[in-house]
Amino acid sequence: ALFLASDEASLVNGAVVPADAGWSAW
């Protein structure tokens, strides 16, 4: 989940965020 969050989040938010933030964003 970490790699997914950092990758997906970086593309969406434009910054590296924790797994929780990534899931929350989605």
Full DSSP string of the chain? -HHHHHHHHHHHTSS---HHHHHHH-
b/e burial code for range 1-26 (CB count within 10 A of at least 16 → b): eeeebbebbeeeeeeebeeeebeeee
User: pLDDT digit string (tens) for 1-26?
Assistant: 455 555 555 555 555 555 555 555 55
**pLDDT (0 to 100) of residue 1:** 46
Between CA 3 and CA 11 the distance in angstroms is 12
> Considering the entire predicted model, what is its pTM?
0.16
